[in-house]
Amino acid sequence: FPGYFLVTADLCRHAKETGIRVGPGRGSAAGSLVAYALRITDLDPIKHKLLFERFLNPERISMPDIDLDFDERRRGDMIRYATEKYGEERVSQIITYGTIKAKAAVKDAARVLGFPYATGDKITKAMPPAVMGKDVPLSGIFDPTHKRYGEAAEFRALYDSDPDAKQVVDTARGLEGLKRQWGVHAAGVILCREPLLDVIPIHRREQDGAIITQFDMGACETLGLLKMDFLGLRNLTVLDDCLKHIASNRGETVVLEDLDEMDSDPKTYELLARGDTLGVFQLDGGPMRSLLRSMQPDRFESISAVLALYRPGPMGVNAHNDYADRKTGRKPVVPIHPELGEALEDILGDTYGLIVYQEQVMAIAQKLAGYTLGNADLLRRAMGKKKREILDKEYIPFSEGMRGNGFSDGAIKTLWETLVPFADYAFNRAHTAGYGLVSFWTAYLKANFPAEYMAALLTSVRDDKDKSALYLAECRRMGIKVLPPDVNDSDSDFTPRGTDIRFGLSAIRNVGTNVVASVVRTRESKGRFADFGDYLRKVDAVACNKKTVESLCKAGAFDSLGHSRKGLVQVHAEAIDACLGTKRKEAEGQFDLFGDAEAEPGEGGLFDVAVPMGEWDKAVLLTYEREMLGLYASDHPLFGVEHLIANATDMPVSQLAETDDGRTVVVGGILAAGPRRMTQQGNPWAMVMLEDLEGPVEVMFFPQSYVAASVHLVEDAVVLIKGRVDRRDDIPKLIANEVTVPDLSVGPRGPVVISLPTPRCTPPVVERFKEVLSAHPGTTDVHLQLVGGDKTTMVRLDEKLRVRATPALFADLKALLGTGCLPTGA
């Protein structure tokens, strides 16, 4: 192990010395004091109660590894460094073999057997939806012992009743699992003492000459080759960009590793307690944000715990809510057994008497049953396997050890029955602490440097228009103004400007990196552009391309020069031809005798462009802006009517990804209507995009719903769509049932008025009331009407408790305070 640690430490040292951000530690390696001393990890394992034996112990069968996270843009640089230092012939990336999955096998079989596309599509739609990106294998669909067998009844019924489906599926079962193509492992790198050619077959990738193993990861590890994981983590890129923005925008230097007192920043924990964690590492999902509001984190341990608890296992037994209720005092902390309260205080005190971490299972076995930590780790693994014969065997030494320490059979049995299920889903504390530190850093930066952080975050998702729209909406909610691109101010990417954020030029369609570099370089060397003619005179020919300039015009990048977008689009082509002609003459030595005698060489003298004054209306401006940027920047068609949409819908579009498959919901927004299509039977159907302030969703109108809805499926129409959530693929869709048009003539909504009798204003009710309001953050004021006898008092609540007035909010309030708490109709 010394060599392994030293190689790992060398990689981390090189990354830090060359400005490549490294993660603070992931997995059980964060429990190693040696790794901390060598600066492989940034967490003190003693301070955070991390066990070394969870990482390495004499009884461990397979050896652990240390995974390294790097800024995703610099992962290639780290692989190059390892190759140069340890020898090209001794370092290689690892091959992966992609296999044919269940759905692909069905579609391939249907195609090869000559069936129409609809046959394969019908069969795959009858399959259970993928969970966490994983399909149910065809073998599992027909295996009663498979855990998801019960979800495939529809598929089996189709198989039994349709001969064509049976033929396709029988053929597909022979294809499933076969290797389809090769690729490169996302993280794995092999290092070898000997030249790799002497040990394994290798492959040189044609496009870049990279060395790739021909054996996959499992085979390489079986041969004893050292595998190291070089992982690219987008959030490290965000951190690095944010720190650079802080330095340039505020003149401050922030060193994240120096934030020793992670429990003492009030802004960070206020942000976490409000659930304002969209864009915060590991904490930005909707249900996660609700859990944070319920939990009210106030120290680093809370972040670590929420990462461990927000997983299917703990949530399946309600451990996440139990933790939140005990932490906030809504429920008392109850020991597992009366005899065990004091004995387990030092192990479970931080987690309010609940087992959250694997290390706690190990520590309990060590303290109460006399296990070594190595044997305790073996016990933990045995519990996780859930095999009765193994559990019966392990119970004997466990019970004897506890009995020897004076505990009763009742306490032993209760603890064992608690440990066995918890051991299966308890999480590695070292991992949650390591990733929790990245969560804390991102929350700290969002809370204390919001414009800088959101600019870095937007840049990191610039190629994902759905995420970009979501984070732009978050900027608006935070009061950060996102300014459109500007040739006089924009850099390549999103950049903070004071408390605002400026769109980057590279976000514009048809504007390449060479164009952006030319514009920025010219602006820095020759000064700001005075008008459109000045722009054409100063920039290189590469930035005078007609298609590029038209895109800049439509995106609003010349707005600061005082020209109308419509006028520029009308004259830009002719102006570019004239300007380029002038530049060519200058290059050939044909100077105008009466030209600008003071112009610098290469600037082509004075060049004026007469730009018409007329402008498009708002709808056209926004349409072109969206076409060029992929989303709305300066304005949005839904601004001013968002409260009407919110009142009439169940959720924003962004929450569909977290909604149960098959649930019927109402969402609203602006339509991008697609063309009408026809089925083989000649019936019309359509696929449209619906977009609200937080992003778009694809909506399918099948023939029955299309006939009734077609009159409303008009481009740029604001509509409400009721439909069924379809999450069979990774990206959620909506299968439409009906469409309605909301009344947009209603003025801005007033405050939400909630009536509450003063006898009901007890601390538990008030606390839960605040939690309900915090779970629906928005821009609408809340007025509380306190009714006591003949006296009524109206109280306007703090701005921090403003809400999004939705049916979900009203339902939560009625469930807590009764149906009479809101006006009739709410």
Each residue's pLDDT tens digit, 404-462: 999 999 999 999 888 887 766 778 888 898 889 999 999 999 999 999 999 999 999 98
DSSP string, 67-117: -EEEEGGGHHHHHHHHHHHH-GGGEEEEEEEEE--HHHHHHHHHHHTT--H
pLDDT at residue 602 is higher than 50:
no
Q: Is the dihedral of CA 675, 677, 683, 689 positive or negative?
A: negative
Whole-number pLDDT of residue 262: 66
Tell whether the model's pLDDT for residue 786 goes beyond 90: no
Indicate the angle between helix axes 409-425 and 358-369, nearest 10 degrees. 160
In terms of Cβ atoms closer than 10 Å to its own Cβ (0-12, 13-18, 19+), residue 368 is buried
Burial grade of 55 (CB within 10 A; 0-12, 13-18, 19 or more): buried
The Cβ of residue 197 has, within 10 Å, a number of other Cβ atoms equal to 12
pLDDT interval class at 126 (50, 70, 90): confident
Check whether 591 has a pLDDT greater than 60: no
826 pLDDT exceeds 80? Answer: no
pLDDT tens, 371-388? 888 888 888 777 766 677
297: phi then psi, degrees, rounded to nearest 5: -60, 140
**593 — pLDDT class (breaks 50, 70, 90):** very low
Residue that has been written with the tokens 């077609």 in this structure? 710
Q: How would DSSP label each residue in 204-215?
A: E-TTT--EEEEE
- Quick check: 123 and 98 in contact, CB under 8 A? no
Beta carbons within 10 angstroms of residue 455's beta carbon:
29
| 49-74 tens-digit pLDDT | 888 877 877 666 666 778 889 999 99
Closest of 442, 444, 369 to residue 402, by C-alpha: 369
Closest listed residue to residue 325, CA positions, set 768, 790, 772, 675: 768
User: Does pLDDT of 27 surpass 60?
Assistant: yes
Strands 752-757 and 676-678: unpaired
Q: Which residue has 């996660």 as its token pair?
A: 288
pLDDT at 134 over 90: no
Confidence of residue 613 (pLDDT cuts 50, 70, 90): confident
> Above pLDDT 90, what percent of the chain?
33
pLDDT greater than 60 at residue 572: yes
Per-residue pLDDT at 701 exceeds 70: yes
Domains of the chain: 2-97+182-236 (no CATH), 101-177 (1.10.10.1600), 260-434 (no CATH), 480-629 (no CATH), 642-740 (2.40.50.140), 752-821 (no CATH)
How far is residue 344's CA from residue 70's CA, in Å, rounded to a whole number? 38
Structure tokens at 670: 């602006």
| Nearest by Cα to 632 from 753, 476, 750, 441 | 476
CA distance 746 to 753: 18
Indicate the helix (H) or strand (E) that contains 477.
helix 465-478
Nearest to 671 by CA among 696, 646, 704, 642: 696
For residue 172, name the pLDDT band (cuts at 50, 70, 90): very high
Q: pLDDT band at residue 778, thresholds of 50, 70 and 90? A: confident
DSSP-derived letter for residue 383 is H
Whole-number pLDDT of residue 420 = 82
Decide: 458 and 468 in contact? Cβ < 8 Å.
Answer: yes
Quick one: average pLDDT of 99-110? 90
What tokens were used for 264? 């003492």
Q: Please tell me the distance from the alpha carbon of residue 666 to that of residue 650, in angstroms, as a whole number.
A: 5
Cβ atoms of 502 and 494 within 8 Å: the answer is: yes
Residue 622, number of CB atoms within 10 A of its CB: 19
- What mean pLDDT is predicted for residues 648-675? 85
HEC profile of 551-573: HHHHHCCCHHHCCCHHHHHHHHH
Rounded to whole angstroms, the Cα distance separating 296 from 273 reads: 4
**Predicted local confidence at residue 693, as pLDDT:** 85
CB-based contacts of 621, cutoff 8 Å, min separation 6: 556, 565, 615, 634, 635
Joined tokens for residue 20 = 């490549």
Q: What sign results for the dihedral spanned by CA atoms 400, 404, 407, 410?
A: positive
Do the Cβ atoms of 446 and 270 come closer than 8 Å?
A: no
Compute the chain's Rg from CA coordinates.
Answer: 31
Kindly indicate the confidence band of residue 470, based on its pLDDT and cuts at 50, 70 and 90. Answer: confident
| Torsion, CA 77, CA 79, CA 84, CA 90, rounded to 10 | -170
Residue 604 has pLDDT above 60, yes or no: no
Give the span between the Cα atoms of 573 and 559, in whole angstroms. Answer: 18
pLDDT in tens, 721-765: 999 998 776 678 999 999 998 877 665 567 888 988 888 888 878
pLDDT of residue 131: 67
The residue whose two tokens read 């169940």 is: 650
Q: DSSP letter for 797, please.
A: P
Q: Which two tokens stand for residue 246?
A: 């802080």
- Taking residues 519-544, report their average pLDDT: 90
What DSSP string runs through 120-148?
Answer: HHHHHHTSPPPBTTBPPPHHHHT-TTSTT
Distance CA 60, CA 39 (A): 25
- CA–CA–CA angle 205, 211, 214 (5° rounding): 85
The model's pTM: 0.79
Cβ-count burial 87-117 (b if 16+ within 10 Å, e if not) = eeebbbbbbbeeebbbbbbbbbbbeeeebee
Segment 538-542 mean pLDDT? 87
More confident site: 77 or 394:
77
